[in-house]
Structure 1
Amino acid sequence: MNATATAVATATVFVWLGMVLAISFLEAPLKFRAPGVAVPVGLGIGRIVFRALNRVEIALAAVTLAAIVIVRPSGVTAGLTAAIITILAGQLTVVRPRLNRRSDRVLAGENLPRSTVHLYYVGLEAAKVIALVVLGIRLLMTG
């Protein structure tokens, strides 16, 4: 086992976890509660913030994967890593494009009923958080 790769993977996983918790479960819901923030403004801000978060997540996923490969993980650790990357890929290729199309329409002035598509994103975020916590703990225990 490579102690440096394990330390890098552990740190990266916990940084990733912190970013997802801060943005998805703190910033995102709170911005719509701020006085004077209309839905189109909140959507515009959210798109910028989530685009940046997702780019950082891609980089964190790449670093995590590279470090995990060096560690030569157990099946559980490899499976958790694969699950996290699969969840992120699903969010970026399936759910985010749908959310973007909808927010394009709202930003163009359409008055649309409340969407449930964001609930899929939130559900995937919750699953990703759980997997990141478990992976981080496993890495701490093996390091």
Structure 2
Amino acid sequence: MTAAFAFTWLGMVLAISFLEAPLKFRAPDVTLRIGLGIGRLVFAALNRIEVLLAVAIWVTLLIGPRSPASLAAAGAVVLVLLLQLAAVRPALTRRSDRVLAGEEGPRSRAHLVYVGLEVVKVVTLVALGASALAGA
């Protein structure tokens, strides 16, 4: 089950963060304000589901077979998610609040940090899923 949860989470991150998020701004008539509004809704939903998947992964690891590699990868992916939720998302929310209020300003570096953490999350979820499948 750990692998199933990890790969489900991986698919959601790939589909939303690396496909939906950049493509929505290329759609006709999607302004920055509209794109940000959609993004906030989508990422809030994704983050809630990520928390549920993280809990599900830890439950399966605690009650079932686990390896040091799986435990390390699960710990790493939860750490990345916590960094995103506690450190980066608040900065992104403040920035999008200002843009949605009509304010203009420099681009946020927090977005690049979030994307970098998403890349780390993808690699970690692949490692977690693979180690869970291998039983290593």
1:44 partnered with 2:37: yes
State the Cα distance separating 1:72 from its structure 2 match.
4.6
Indicate the residue corresponding to 1:96 in structure 2.
Answer: 89
Residue in structure 2 matching 1:120, options 91, 108, 113? 113
State the Cα distance separating 1:117 from its structure 2 match.
1.1
CA distance in structure 2 between the partners assigned to 1:101 and 1:130 by the alignment:
28
Indicate the residue corresponding to 2:3 in structure 1.
Answer: 10
1:137 partnered with 2:130: yes
Counterpart AA for 1:123: G
Is contact 2:67-2:135 (8 Å) kept? no
**Which stretches in structure 2 are left out of the alignment for 5+ residues?**
none
Residue in structure 1 matching 2:23, options 25, 30, 34? 30
Is contact 2:36-2:96 (8 Å) kept? yes
Where do 4+ consecutive residues of structure 1 move more than 6 Å?
Answer: none
**Which stretches in structure 1 are left out of the alignment for 5+ residues?**
1-7
Count matched residues: 136
CA distance in structure 2 between the partners assigned to 1:72 and 1:89 by the alignment:
25
1:81 partnered with 2:68: no
TM-score normalised per structure 1: 0.91
* Comparing 30-39 and 67-76, the one that deviates more: 67-76
What is the CA RMSD across the aligned residues, in angstroms?
1.2
Q: Deviations for 1:78-135, whole angstroms, at most 9, x for unmatched residues?
A: 1111000010011000000000000000000001122221010000000000000011
Q: Deviations for 1:58-87, whole angstroms, at most 9, x for unmatched residues?
A: 000000011011235222211111000010
TM-score normalised per structure 2: 0.96
Counterpart AA for 1:62: V
Indicate the residue corresponding to 1:5 in structure 2.
Answer: none
Secondary structure in 1 aligned to 2:121?
Answer: helix
